[in-house]
Amino acid sequence: MIHCPAVRKKSIQFHYDLTTFFYRLLWGEHIHHGLWEKNESPKDAQVRLTREVARLACIESGESVLDVGCGMGGSSLYLARHHRCQVTGVTISGVQRRWASWSAWRRGLGRQTTFVRADAEQMEWEPEQFDVIWSIECTEHLFDKAAFFRRAAEWLRPGGRMAICAWLEGTTDSSRARQLVMDVCEGFFCPSLGSMSDYRHWMSDAGLEVQDVLDWTDEVARTWEICQSRACRPGLRRLAYWIDRETGRFLDRFATIHRAYTERAMQYGCLVARKPP
Ligand SMILES: C[S@@+](CC[C@H](N)C(=O)[O-])C[C@H]1O[C@@H](n2cnc3c(N)ncnc32)[C@H](O)[C@@H]1O
């Protein structure tokens, strides 16, 4: 696992409070990679990733889902609408919580969804409260990932599933690869990135049976070609640096993450595990 000690929890919260509006403008409601099969639009590719994770996690109608790091509610609203799930979304950002609640209300999904502002590393739930724990691109931001998996496994009912998508440390082991990962961690506020095998171990050490381990690096990498070209819009970079140095650096690191995927310094993974009945 690669650590980046410079990242602070306060900065993560500040980043999402400040930039949620920009994510919406630049990328869309889902703050995660797209999963490309052919020439889908970015929006369709984002929904495809969500749909694919839902399929792998065998989401059933009416199940209760905890969406950890729910962003603007992209996945939560998808699961509520398409699978009639009862979803609790958690985000560290107060802006995102309000945004997600408002979106749910606007679409008539207010009764099926609840959004709370909480730190996923501190929150408490009843044992066996959820059918599914779902987390797309949030565990990168957690400081003690192993502890999170142990606690989250307790919140799952027997037979429940955990579905995770995450940015990962890659398979290339060189000082250049490590530097690329460090630069990504610093730019995108990740205190560490685990490898695919770290995630497998955290899940199985938490008592879960790992069912699917998928490397989606090639299918998601186009995300950063598109984001880089969108970030070149006139004035955007200047605005980002005007806000603060960290927000400016965030835009500049779009090229770094693309390089990290291309050189296999990073991977993108989807893992699904089941709690034994
Ligand atoms: C890349 S976004 C992904 C959002 C969402 N899962 C999606 O796919 O649209 C990361 C999310 O993790 C949340 N997050 C980061 N650290 C967190 C923490 N300690 N507790 C709860 N949420 C956190 C952020 O607020 C943000 O919503």
For a substitution probing ligand 1, which of 23, 53, 92 has the most ligand atoms within 8 Å of its CB?
A: 92
User: Which residues are within 8 A (CB) of 115 and not within 5 positions of it... i.e. 6 or more apart?
Assistant: 70, 73, 76, 88, 89, 90, 91, 97, 100, 101, 104
For ligand 1, say whether the CB of 12 is within 6 Å of any of its atoms. yes
The predicted-structure confidence for 188-240, as pLDDT tens digits, reads as follows 999 999 999 999 999 999 999 999 999 999 999 999 999 888 888 778 888 88
* H or E stretch covering 212: strand 209-215
For ligand 1, say whether the CB of 165 is within 6 Å of any of its atoms. no
- Could you tell me what percent of the chain has a pLDDT over 70? 100
- What's residue 159's pLDDT? 98
The predicted-structure confidence for 134-171, as pLDDT tens digits, reads as follows 999 999 999 999 999 999 999 999 999 999 999 999 99
For ligand 1, say whether the CB of 13 is within 6 Å of any of its atoms. no
Model confidence band, residue 99 (pLDDT cutoffs 50, 70, 90): very high
What is the mean predicted confidence (pLDDT) over 243-267? 91
For ligand 1, say whether the CB of 31 is within 6 Å of any of its atoms. yes
Tally the C-alpha atoms within 13 A of residue 75's C-alpha that lie toward its C-beta: 34
- What's residue 93's pLDDT? 98
- What's residue 25's pLDDT? 84
User: Which atom of ligand 1 lies nearest, measured to the CA of 119?
Assistant: 20
- Could you tell me what percent of the chain has a pLDDT over 90? 86
CA 127 and chain centroid, separation: 24
Instruction: Give 248 or 121, the one with higher predicted confidence.
Output: 121
Which residues lie across from 113 on neighbouring strands?
87
* H or E stretch covering 12: helix 9-26
For ligand 1, say whether the CB of 15 is within 6 Å of any of its atoms. no
- Using alpha carbons, select from 24, 125, 9, 15 the residue that is nearest to residue 67: 125
- Using alpha carbons, select from 155, 215, 218, 172 the residue that is nearest to residue 2: 172
Under CATH, which number does the domain 2-274 receive? 3.40.50.150
Question: How buried is residue 50: exposed, middle or buried, by Cβ count under 10 Å (0-12/13-18/19+)?
Answer: buried
User: Which atom of ligand 1 lies nearest, measured to the CA of 121?
Assistant: 19
For ligand 1, say whether the CB of 79 is within 6 Å of any of its atoms. no
Average pLDDT of the chain, as a whole number: 95
Flag whether pLDDT at 242 surpasses 80: yes
Flag whether pLDDT at 245 surpasses 80: yes
For the whole model, what pTM was predicted? 0.96
Cα(14) to ligand 1 centroid in Å equals 12
* Sequence spans of domains, the chain: 2-274
DSSP letter at 139 equals G
- Using alpha carbons, select from 61, 31, 52 the residue that is nearest to residue 132: 61
- Using alpha carbons, select from 161, 199, 195 the residue that is nearest to residue 276: 161
State how far the Cα of 70 lies from the Cα of 188, in Å rounded to an integer: 17
| Protein residue whose Cα sits closest to atom 27 of ligand 1 | 71
